[in-house]
Amino acid sequence: MQSLSAQETVDQGLAEPLPLREVMARFATGVIVLSVGGEHIHGMTANAFSSVSLNPPTVLCCVAHDAVMHKAIRSAGHFGVSVLGADQEALARYFADKKRPLGPKQFDGLDWHAGPVTRAPLLRGATAWLECELADAHDSGDHAIFIGDVVNAVRADEGSGLVFFGGGFRSIAAERS
């Protein structure tokens, strides 16, 4: 009997089901740093992020219940988003590192400014920034889905993006628009 190709194995539903994380690794995403300002100041790398509605403008992000960011967003009622540029992989790794300092020290030595509406820290050198007021929250499994009303949206004139794909960071060049 002829052996099946990898594609035929998948087509016939014979492939071994994999953990969701391994399958979602095939879904290329951008990379953001979520942030909260004020007394709950905090930042966290995320890629579970999407626009939801254009009118009114809303976005969502998914945050693990056991992340410090979960409590920070719930307490502050707002969040900021810095969409990382191609040369900001080190920041993505830093804000995903559980060993980074907490509180204001977390931002020591980093180039950021407080968002004009929410005071959420926004990272300089990113390609776009949002400020959001927390509008709704839903629990789903081990994560919460936070929906934010966009109260400020700004982008850089140009810039290449940081992409997460296959468990690693890549960069993608932007066309002028």
Ligand X SMILES: Cc1cc2nc3c(=O)[nH]c(=O)nc-3n(C[C@H](O)[C@H](O)[C@H](O)COP(=O)(O)O)c2cc1C
Strands 128-140 and 57-64: unpaired
- C-beta closer to ligand X: residue 99 or 176: 99
| CB 41, min distance to ligand X, A | 12
- C-beta closer to ligand X: residue 36 or 122: 36
| CB 6, min distance to ligand X, A | 27
| CB 44, min distance to ligand X, A | 4
- C-beta closer to ligand X: residue 10 or 20: 20
Contact present, 83 and 161 (Cβ < 8 Å): yes
By CB under 6 A, name the binding residues for ligand X: 31, 44-48, 62-64, 67-69, 92, 96, 98, 164
- C-beta closer to ligand X: residue 57 or 169: 169
| CB 12, min distance to ligand X, A | 33
Separation CA 120–CA 110 (nearest Å) = 14
